Structure 1
Amino acid sequence: MRHRIAVVGSGPGGLAFARVMHRHDHPVTILERDPAPDARPPGGMLDLHQGLGQLALEKAGLLGEFEALSRPEAQAMRILDPDGTVLRDWRPRPQDRANPEIDRGQLRDLLLGPLGVRWGRDVTRVVPGARDGVLVHFADGRQETYDLVVGADGAWSRTRPAVSPVTPHYTGVTTVETSLDDVDTRHPHLARLVGDGSMAVYGAHRKLVAQRNSGGHVKVYAQFRAPLDWHTNLDPADAEAVRSSLLDLYDGWADPVLDLVRQGTTFVHRPLHVLPVSHTWTHVAGVTLLGDAAHLMPPLGAGANLAMLDGAELAEAIAAAPGDLDGAIRAFEEQMWARAGKWAKITTAGLERLMSPDPAEAIALFDEVQPS
């Protein structure tokens, strides 16, 4: 039985869904708002966990290719005191592949494989209960109908209102992102500071994290508690003004740490929003959600992993019961809600500890979760 199925969004979750469906010989229409795969920077590295993201890749038949592309050495984690003292310097063993990192662009290309994406298809509204299925409205005025629409369109999902009135709320924590290029050649002292993986410095209600990506690229994240409108009198496009504001915020921290901000080029403001910890909805025939559209939570390493496993399991549920599409969706939602609720509690508590007035809370959290 061939259902007309569309997935909105070509992030890791939407592509994992479409790729596993492809493995089961069922076509899926991928609708993506971006006009091309390189329309936006792909973002930082992703650590894919055994039992989550790696399990999704196994279901898609891509685990071996992932292992060839991933960087297990990037699991390394270094923690510094604001004065520059190294407090923790954990490095993985050669055989440790619990959470290897991969560039988002490489992961996207791996998942895309033979799939086709309909780029530039900006979904504005999804309306279930139409005569011939679920009606999808596009920004250009066109409409299409499907038997199932899967919302994998992120935090500000245009699909979510079809099943839930809930919208994300601000956590009180903001991230400002910058980056360094060709770090080994242009900033060797910062390359040594960051190491092969990530480096974090924790203070009261704030932290600074640097993450090594491939190709000598380092992402830097300044994260702090602040009102949502903290930057009202600050032009986000004025890099010098943003840099100056951040340096004031982290005043007194060691110079090598602050160089991560001083050497940054452009700065991107990313306030952290989340959905309620136990977000669920009354089942609606023909529409479901996965990933951040369903369970947006603090970005502590679970989001992309959960989205990918959501997508893979949804595809398997549909493939296993081709004659009962609605029953397959109901079973998937129950399973997803249980897992997502657990992780939402973990990540919400984790964000509170990382943004604690006592930096020792963040270090204690690292010691609890890091392998011995």
Structure 2
Amino acid sequence: MNNKIKKAIDRQISEKPLFTNEDRRRFYANKQNKGFSWWNQGFPKLLTAMTTLLLLAGSFYFFTSGNPFQSPASPEEEQVKEGPVPEKEQDNQPPLDTRIKEIKNLVLNGPGKNQIRDTVESLNGAEIESAQEKEEAEELMSFVFTPDSEMQNTSFTSHEPPSLEAFQHGELDLFLAVQWNDESNGLSSATLTYLSDDGESLTEERFTGNALKREFAKVVGAEEPVSMKDLTLRSIARSLDKEPDSLTKSDLLELEELTINASHLNGIFDVEADPSYFEAMKSLRVLKLNQAIIPGELLKEVPSLEQVTFIGPTIKDLSRVAEGMQNVQYLNLINSSFQGNAEDILKLESLTIVRVDPSVVPDYEKLQFEGIDVRW
């Protein structure tokens, strides 16, 4: 079978060998004549050796030079880098909110004079030194605080709160005024002034020792001028011993007593004003209206109102004003046009003393039964 296959292949190719002895002789003869070829055998080896050397050198440079792709620094830059970078000193000034909170807590706890000064010093504040005439037993102490503890506080010499521009320019960020009573050896009032959140106005917070509530009364836009009817404006200015044209919302915080006398006018004087002005009268405790009336919706903005007197033909009953008199403890109706009854007066939940004509309120015994002191 194998012989048949072999014969078939021989017929297709050739029966004679393809590689003869003569071919073999010529191959070996050419190989001996050719000899050694440097280009064919030496150059590839040399190229391999050089490539290996370059790879080793590159790896060594990469690991020893840090970042080989960064341009080398100049000698001046290297000298700068060699020296230590000075760290910026941290300002140890507490935030404004923290200082305000700490001062308010101090005031509400009835501090001594030295305790106030020590606290101000701990908060990097400075007391304003100025020549002032001491009025009776009252002493005014003023302190200024700056945003940066390194800033100088000596440029302020007045006990009046600085201007809005001074706060906006960063000359200070907090002003504290304390009224001290030497007779009682206690704090009469304390006022904090600082820039409002919008940066366009001043916020003022004031505490008085005789306030109905032991808390700070707050008004935003303290530097804004007050715009009211002329009689109302002059009455407020007279109570504060100030000029009407100079009144600001800050002054309204200090208003504790107000008398509006319109007896020289024809008819009843109706007090009308922006409710925000009455909202700022958070220290107002005593109100006397002579031939004048303030609507209840305005009176209710005055949270500390304790005593009210009506004179003249202003009210027939308390329906118009009762809404704003729920904190009133003393009510004087003796010289008024009041024609109501005991039930009308009992609408005032905090009332303890009332002056009223018994002939006008014949059922006054109901008031006495409820514990109200009735006087005439």
- The alignment's TM-score, normalised by the length of structure 2, stands at 0.19
Q: Which has the higher strand share?
A: 1
What TM-score do you get using the length of structure 1 for normalisation?
0.19
With a CA cutoff of 8 Å and minimum separation of 6, indicate the structure with the bigger relative contact order. Answer: 1
